Structures are given as C-alpha cells and as structure tokens.
Amino acid sequence: MQLTAALRKEALLQWRTRARFLAVFAFGATALLLFSFAVGPDAGALRRHAPGFLWLALLLSSTLTLAESFQSEHEQRALEGLLLLPASPRALFYAKALANAAQLVLLGAALVPLAVVLYDMPLSRPAGLLGVILLGAGGLSAPGTLYAAMSSQAHARQTLLPLLLFPLVVPVLLASVKACALLLTGDPMGQLPSWALLLGCFDAIYWSLCGLLFERVVEE
C-alpha cells in the first residue's frame, strides 16, 4: 500500500516534468551523433561499436535524469515531510528507483531507432534488446537513486553524482554492452544467457543493498 501510493506520487511528478525527458533525449541523441562522427564513415566499425556507444549515451543521459530526481523534494523540502509520514523510507526509495528505471528504459528504447539509423545497427531481436535495456536500466537506477539522494543537497550535484556513480556501475555497463553485442552480431557460443544472468545478479545486489542504505542516507 505504501509503495503503491509512493509510485502514484512519482508517476504524477514524472508526468508534470515530462518536458525534461525531451531535453534528456536530445542530449542522448547528440551524444550518439558525436560518437558516429568520432568513428567516421567506416560502416563496419560503426556496427561493431554501436552497442558500446548506445550504452555510453544512455549512461551519460542517466546522470541528468538521476541528478534531478530529488530536485522537487529538495527545493520544496518535501523529503522531510515524506519521512515524517507513517511510511517506510524503503518504500519511498523503491518508488523513486522504479520511476527512474522506467524513465531510463523509455529513454533507451527511444535511442535504439536513432542508433539503427546512425550505425546501420541490425535489429533482428528487438524483444531481447528491450530485455537487456530493462536489466541494464535497473542496474543504473538503484545506485543512481541512492547517490542522487546523497548528493541532492550539494551545490555541485551534477558533477558529484557521476563521480560516485560511474565506478560502481562499470560491471553493469560492461555486461549490458556485451549482451547487446551478442544480440546484434550473433551468439554462436550461447553466451547471452550467462551475461543476462550476470546483469540480473547485479540488479538483485544493487536493489537490495541500496534499499537498505537509503534510510541511513536520508536521515543524515
């Protein structure tokens, strides 16, 4: 019940700030375009590096989304009021993390068609690619939400969040890139289930630990 109410609040907040999503998408699209310029007209190199460029664009864009996820609560001092309610801080965390994950999944799905056009990326298994984006977004959103709460009161939160987040999510990024590459270029050795399982394990660890640590973070 607490989680449902918190999710409803997050959904309303995301809807009211939907214009911000367009700005984040424009940033991710610009990153993809710049990466294609860096490689040049080599079509083979573009296809080989497409999964890495897609996840780099999503990672860079996620910092904008996550850094602003606690902006409304900080500006209006709403977080203190929410903590005074008879609701578990863990429910507040999971609602915020689920909302951030949904936004990252939507962003990743929106960037895929652009990557297909820019990098001549094959798209033979779109359902599998969406599943990898879902797992990877989960691995980014849980620690990103925790660190966003930690840095929300800092003046340089836009700079502080990437410094905290990037080292922690390197395994998630590597596994996501490898899984996408196997989906797009073929998987003759049957390695995809192992990489997907690794992503799922990272998601389970991050979501469990970050949910436990959130209460201590917001109380301090």
pLDDT at residue 219, as a whole number: 63
Residue-wise pLDDT tens digits, 122-166: 777 888 889 999 999 999 999 988 888 887 766 666 677 888 888
pLDDT confidence of residue 86: 57
Encode pLDDT of 170-199 as tens digits: 999 999 999 998 888 877 787 888 999 999
Q: Are 177 and 125 in contact (CB under 8 A)?
A: no
Taking alpha carbons only, the member of 54, 72, 157 closest to residue 115 is 54
Extents of the domains making up the chain: 2-219
Query: How far apart, in whole angstroms, are the C-alpha atoms of residue 140 and residue 147?
Result: 11
pLDDT at 173: 92
Q: Which of the four pLDDT bands, split at 50, 70 and 90, describes residue 107?
A: very high
For residue 161, how far is the Cα from the chain centroid? 13
Structure tokens at 179: 């899984």
> What share of the chain has pLDDT > 70, as a percent?
80
Q: At 78, list the tokens.
A: 């709403």
pLDDT of 3 above 80: no
* CA distances for 29 relative to 23, 36, 206, angstroms: 10, 11, 28
SS3 of the chain: the string is: CHHHHHHHHHHHHHHHCHHHHHHHHHHHHHHHHHHHHHHCCCHHHHHHHHHHHHHHHHHHHHHHHHHCCCHHHHHCCHHHHHHHCCCCHHHHHHHHHHHHHHHHHHHHHHHHHHHHHHHCCCCCCHHHHHHHHHHHHHHHHHHHHHHHHHHCCCCCHHHHHHHHHHHHHHHHHHHHHHHHHHHHHCCCCCCHHHHHHHHHHHHHHHHHHHHHHHHHHHHC
CA separation for the pair 190, 170 (Å, rounded): 23
pLDDT of 39-94, one tens digit each?
777 777 888 888 899 999 999 988 888 877 776 666 655 555 555 555 677 778 88
Mean pLDDT of the chain: 82
pLDDT at 118 over 80: yes
pLDDT confidence of residue 135: 93
**Residue of 26 and 122 predicted with greater confidence:** 26
Q: Return the pLDDT at 22.
A: 84
